[in-house]
Structure 1
């Protein structure tokens, strides 16, 4: 097969770098100047949680993702930053981290009619930002104006612009949201519009500071220090008067991407942390033997394949399908995931409320894979599989290689840091196939949100795949928009499921397996912990045991 590179193509007009969202690039240490007057100063990155006595001691958490991503709530997809921002900021409504049911946060109550086209919210009396200044309607409008501004491209825009027409100030403590059409799912999405102080982030250059780590909200915890690639510290905000009171006087969140070091930090009698996420499956038994509780959350976390549809022969749907059918997903689940996962039977995981088994399911079928490659006129195919070096993804790669090799596709594995992989994507470099991890559940559970996160004419991911101009894609985007506007919940669900059937058949960006994310904690130290089905931790309902 001819190994010809894709031609140079113009970047899509609304493409923003993945690295800006996830922040795999390094950043300088940030000590937020706006909090200098109230900051407790940097805490040691080696704080073991023993500082103070009883309930005044510091909670130490280990996060298996980098803290050097964007901290701008309107931009970020960083697991660390999103988890931290849920403790620092509030939306008008926030959602339970497990059920995702919305509850009043900065607003005093949720609208009584979720199907109305106007929602009015009154701000909580006495709500203040971490610098002591009151939260006002101007701050709410400021954030929504940024999200909806057609001249400003933010990740959050994709979650709001389709259905939200605008936000206006009624009085100093009241705002009104005008919807383009009834959209009850929008209530849970309001947690993605974290209210930020206009007097801080309206300053020139402040959004760049937010990317690098400046965080000033009205939530139960305030950021006290931020050291990229090391740790971020927090302190209970004494002025907080909302519904999720802080249980820990201080928190120190360590970023430890290396799996062995992360497990070591929470292990043994001298453990330096009380909780850690992203626990490797191979370490579960040993941690449990040491007295820790290890629990999983099943959701949409997945290994996906992404094809460059401008690089032949991956423009041919039969080739994309063949490479999916060829993968021994059962072996992958048992060997690489130690049973903590399932082969994908839809774009959505089986636990999603909108799940329906897709019309095209890539059950392991090497003979069908060979037949599809033959029908496409492809032989002697050589694939360089570019992959992120997330530990569980790397564990899955040998199964992909052996499966593809077995159907005559000579496969070279090229795992690299996420930084390197998505720098190539953002620079529009040529590639064939990418294997990476994704979990839209960190934004929400509704299928419309999940689909629009991954698919759309101006979507980041569609820019990577070079597929947005395809006639099938164009029809898909129109069908997705019609589904979003459908007022009948049952019809809407069926329409979205039909869209997912198209996504499954086309296999442009599609999951191979959905896996379980594991969290470990010391139940002798902590109570109220719930394992999340998406990266990070949420301690807003937790406390000392």
Structure 2
């Protein structure tokens, strides 16, 4: 099956519209942020950089807060450690066992595994979770990541057999994208709606309350018997895009950890706090409506990239905490290969490309999300384009409005935003599929899907999926070179993730190279 037929209903869910978060609030009782005025050693308090903008159903959850929470609440058969990104058996008793033909894999469930409502996790729940995501009627965001799966069957109550359409060498780690959900709680539309706001998983924590502005409180799943038991009784995740508020939470002691330390304040966090800096895939990208003139001409898209002095942009907007893009992938990625086209600062070339395309006096609205480093980058982009004779006016909105209303509209032309699909996995195949094969992006957002280049990109990614080693790497290089040349959506830079925490109050914690804060092994000091 494929991800064909993405519905408007799913597009709105994917956009993370605020109404979904409101439903979460209602479904969980809206009990505020759950924080205590006197934090104790049985709880962890932290502050995230985004607000809750969607539900939690892992079949479609993609918002920063929901994916962070889901890592604590749900398990896949195999999970990726949120810090090291290494695969480990989670709900599975061991890593999957391959058959002799490279088309079959077998997984045995952990003995005694239970969901947080006390019901046993069975092979039928696993089969249901995969088929539910693969069903085109559900328009799951995860479907394109597991399109190689032909069938999933229960051999007995604890054993699951997978038959693949073609060999896929990344199978053991890729199945981490499918979190296992109880079939009994997700059997129809009404059940799915309730589950989206009050999720039930087999992970070490449960969602106690969720609020669109205050954040999420998690408690302990007392039925959990897996490899990463909870070491605290409660986790409170406050949520705010306000840089000052997050910093005040850390320095004032109400939070033991915060993500996205304001770049201006990294050096003033304090000697008694630890700052964890990691290069990330997380990027500032430019995205174009590739069906609307003149952005249907790749030379115009290329020109706007060449016009940007990326190092100046990074210094001005991020205080140096980013790396200019030399590929779709960041240079810390294990699969990184430098692209054949690298957009160094070259305003003369930018002007020449516009002239070749027959474009003069270009003007458009630059839409941006309200993520802090995106907002800070926008004026620098606009000034750079002004220097080559291009006029851009600024329209900054929350992500919910950008993806829910503006980008799907007929008037959309150019977007500057951030994106980090590495929360689902860091491998090249997954990352290419996210922005360049998923119809939500290719058909409904940058609208590159109908172009011959888009079809060629999909063929390269699918061909690479069927092989391994040097042949796979070479095919990925062709795909990376193609998207670097076409730039329907392409990074200007890859940001660094700056996490800060109080080592005197929290231990066994580290910052991640993705969005979010993760406390699977953490405890209070």
Q: By the TM > 0.5 criterion, same fold?
A: yes
2:331 paired residue among 350, 353, 358: 350
1:278 paired residue among 256, 260, 268: 260
> Does the CA-based 8 Å contact 1:232-1:252 persist in structure 2?
yes
2:359 paired residue among 372, 378, 398: 378
> Does the CA-based 8 Å contact 1:15-1:463 persist in structure 2?
no
* Alpha-carbon distance change, 328 to 15 in structure 1, aligned in 2, over 3 angstroms: farther
Please state whether the residue corresponding to 1:267 is helix, strand or coil: helix
Taking the aligned partners of 1:216 and 1:94, their CA distance within structure 2 comes to 17
The residue that corresponds to 2:106 in the other structure is 120
Please state whether the residue corresponding to 1:288 is helix, strand or coil: coil
- TM-score, normalisation: structure 2: 0.94
Taking the aligned partners of 2:494 and 2:183, their CA distance within structure 1 comes to 40
* Alpha-carbon distance change, 381 to 200 in structure 1, aligned in 2, over 3 angstroms: same
The residue that corresponds to 2:238 in the other structure is 254
- Counterpart check, 1:200 vs 2:185: yes
> Does the CA-based 8 Å contact 2:77-2:175 persist in structure 1?
yes
Taking the aligned partners of 1:59 and 1:125, their CA distance within structure 2 comes to 29
The residue that corresponds to 1:531 in the other structure is 511
The residue that corresponds to 2:76 in the other structure is 91
**Superposed CA RMSD:** 2.0
Taking the aligned partners of 2:30 and 2:404, their CA distance within structure 1 comes to 31
Taking the aligned partners of 1:70 and 1:158, their CA distance within structure 2 comes to 20
Cα deviation 1:295-331 (Å, max 9, x = unaligned): 1221210000011122211111111111100011010
> Does the CA-based 8 Å contact 1:529-1:542 persist in structure 2?
yes
Taking the aligned partners of 1:492 and 1:528, their CA distance within structure 2 comes to 37
- Counterpart check, 1:463 vs 2:457: no
Taking the aligned partners of 2:442 and 2:37, their CA distance within structure 1 comes to 40
Please state whether the residue corresponding to 1:62 is helix, strand or coil: strand
1:14 paired residue among 6, 12, 20: 6
> Does the CA-based 8 Å contact 1:67-1:81 persist in structure 2?
yes
Superposition deviation, residue 125 in structure 1: 1.2
- Counterpart check, 1:152 vs 2:145: no
Taking the aligned partners of 2:183 and 2:419, their CA distance within structure 1 comes to 32
- Counterpart check, 1:389 vs 2:375: no
1:68 paired residue among 49, 53, 60: 53
Taking the aligned partners of 1:221 and 1:250, their CA distance within structure 2 comes to 8
Superposition deviation, residue 244 in structure 1: 0.3
The 5 Å alignment of 1:11-50 reads: 13-15=5-7, 17-26=10-19, 27-28=21-22, 30=24, 45=33, 47-48=35-36, 50=38
Superposition deviation, residue 62 in structure 1: 0.8
Residue ranges of structure 1 left out of the alignment (5+ in a row): 1-11
- TM-score, normalisation: structure 1: 0.91
When structure 1 is superposed on structure 2, of 218-227 and 324-333 the one drifting more is 218-227
Superposition deviation, residue 445 in structure 1: 0.9
* Alpha-carbon distance change, 207 to 134 in structure 1, aligned in 2, over 3 angstroms: same
Cα deviation 1:174-218 (Å, max 9, x = unaligned): 11111122212121122211111111122541222233x221111
1:175 paired residue among 142, 149, 160: 160
The residue that corresponds to 1:184 in the other structure is 169
2:316 paired residue among 335, 354, 369: 335
1:423 paired residue among 404, 411, 416: 404
Taking the aligned partners of 1:204 and 1:498, their CA distance within structure 2 comes to 42
Superposition deviation, residue 227 in structure 1: 2.2
- Counterpart check, 1:134 vs 2:134: no
The residue that corresponds to 2:389 in the other structure is 408
Superposition deviation, residue 460 in structure 1: 2.8
2:217 paired residue among 230, 233, 257: 233
Please state whether the residue corresponding to 1:175 is helix, strand or coil: strand
Cα deviation 1:1-34 (Å, max 9, x = unaligned): xxxxxxxxxxx8325555412523234354797x
Superposition deviation, residue 433 in structure 1: 0.6
The residue that corresponds to 2:492 in the other structure is 512
Taking the aligned partners of 1:32 and 1:258, their CA distance within structure 2 comes to 24
Taking the aligned partners of 1:352 and 1:410, their CA distance within structure 2 comes to 35
Taking the aligned partners of 2:249 and 2:23, their CA distance within structure 1 comes to 23
Cα deviation 1:116-162 (Å, max 9, x = unaligned): 3211111111111111111111111111110111322100101102x
Please state whether the residue corresponding to 1:311 is helix, strand or coil: coil
1:491 paired residue among 471, 478, 485: 471
* Alpha-carbon distance change, 51 to 265 in structure 1, aligned in 2, over 3 angstroms: closer
* Alpha-carbon distance change, 30 to 321 in structure 1, aligned in 2, over 3 angstroms: closer
Please state whether the residue corresponding to 2:110 is helix, strand or coil: coil
* Alpha-carbon distance change, 449 to 294 in structure 1, aligned in 2, over 3 angstroms: same
Superposition deviation, residue 255 in structure 1: 1.4
Please state whether the residue corresponding to 1:423 is helix, strand or coil: helix
> Does the CA-based 8 Å contact 1:66-1:229 persist in structure 2?
yes
The residue that corresponds to 1:5 in the other structure is none
Superposition deviation, residue 484 in structure 1: 1.3
Taking the aligned partners of 1:252 and 1:140, their CA distance within structure 2 comes to 29
Superposition deviation, residue 45 in structure 1: 2.2
Please state whether the residue corresponding to 1:248 is helix, strand or coil: coil
> Does the CA-based 8 Å contact 2:288-2:489 persist in structure 1?
yes
* Alpha-carbon distance change, 250 to 186 in structure 1, aligned in 2, over 3 angstroms: same
The 5 Å alignment of 1:261-300 reads: 261-268=245-252, 271-289=253-271, 291-300=272-281
